[in-house]
Amino acid sequence: MSLQERFVQNLRRYRLSLGCSQEELGNRLGSDRTVISRLERTSSRMTLERADALARALDIDVRVLFDTPIGNEIIRVQPGKPVSSETVGEKVQQLRKAEGITQKDLGDRTGLDRNRISQIEASSGKVAALQLSTLEKLAAAFGIKPTELF
């Protein structure tokens, strides 16, 4: 099961446990029920920032929804510091340098282009939002959980 699938299933389970409708969650985010429905069906590519916003709208830390195995009880933890693609980029750069590998080496490990690794690590504030699938590839390349990149 992918990181996005686990997140979406946990989001839906947690939303339902709160008695929160898709419409209500959409309203909290300034969108509508159809957006939430599409996200819960995993038919769209979820970004890290979108996942964090969804979790915050339900007053739970996004890390819980990423890390809780399907079928396990979701234990509510207050949202922590917001997660961002920029923060992940900084951590990726630190880990890459600590291992003494190049951006090309990391690209080869993840199946991403070296230029994409450079974009992820960019500190100029022009970091593109990371999709959860990319976050998952980066974590796997370092042998860590995706939430360890925050």
Give the CA radius of gyration of the chain: 16
pLDDT band at 122 (very low <50, low <70, confident <90, very high): confident
Residue 117: pLDDT band (50, 70, 90) is: very high
pTM equals: 0.92
What domains does the chain contain, in order, with CATH numbers?
Answer: 3-67 (1.10.260.40), 85-145 (1.10.260.40)
Cβ 7 vs Cβ 150: under 8 Å? no
- Joined tokens for residue 150: 């925050």
